[in-house]
A = this chain, B = another copy of it.
Amino acid sequence: MSSSDLLLDMNQKALNLLQEDADKIEKLIEVQMGNLTTRQCPLYEEVLDTQMYGLSREIDFAIRAGLISEAPGKQILSKLERNLAQLYEALNKKSNP
């Protein structure tokens, strides 16, 4: 394998791993969205915040290590942040209708 192929390969692998981790958080957000009408678990926000922090550290490291470029990394994170903002907005509406 040539070194440019290797780099492409590692870049793709890194992006797949980061997307997998992002998908897990996405799933957590969806579950909590689905639970809006039932009771609210206060630990959920804590778990989501911790997971978001962990993913941001992974992405930051992948960029610094030259595995991925900045744009796709930031994109994964900002998409999640938008979904998270929607969740918090929905939670706010529920507690202050």
Contacts and interface: CB of A to CB of B under 8 A. Distances in A.
Number of identical monomers bound together in the oligomeric complex: 2
A45 interface: no
Interface stretch (A22-30, A54-62, A76-84): A54-62
The DSSP consensus for interface residues of chain A is: helix
Nearest to A5: B3
Give the size range of A's interface with the partner.
Answer: 20 to 34
A16 to B, nearest CB: 9
A85 interface: no
Contact of A67 (B5, B57, B67): B67
A65 B64 contact: no
A57 B7 CA distance: 22
